[in-house]
Amino acid sequence: MGLNAGHKVLARTHIFPVRVYYEDTDAAGIVYHANYLRFAERARTELLRDLNIRQRELAIQDGLQFVVRSCEIQYLATARLDDELTVESRITLIRGASVKAKQLIKSEGRHLVRMEILIACVNRVGSPVRLPHHVRSALGGRMLNRLRDRGEWQQ
């Protein structure tokens, strides 16, 4: 996989490439466990950007932000300096004020990390608020159509 390929949405899964840099590793040369969360965050941000959802604009214009409500993570194998990784992100549930995503970090076909993340939409004071229509529409329209067709989508 070449990192120049960039990120893309294939069917229902968003693919985001990551290279492991020295700053991502610990003294043993393996990726520090918390950095997988950073890779996943970048992938979710790019997923939104690819759907024309700009978090900065939401924050400035609408006073809305996305925050992680919960995260379940399973570490299956390690990545090392200079490895090329892919982060696969899939929206699995959209509710009034939250979105659930599954993310898988892989290297050369090996599953390294599995995550299930619940993201809440909150206002400036941190109270939950409904997802804006255009966000629901973008996530639901592009990411969930195939899930719905297969009976895998939950409301």
Q: Which of 26, 50, 62, 149 is catalytic?
A: 26
The enclosing H or E element of 45 equals helix 35-50
Between the alpha carbon of residue 85 and those of residues 36, 39, 61, 112, the distances in Å are: 10, 9, 34, 9
Confirm whether 24 is a catalytic residue. Answer: no
The dihedral built from the CA positions of residue 103, 124, 137 and 149, taken in this order, carries a sign that is positive
**Cα torsion at 118, 120, 126, 127 (round to 10°)?**
-120
Question: Taking Cα atoms as reference points, which of 101, 2, 93 lies closest to residue 46?
Answer: 101
Active centre residues (catalytic):
26
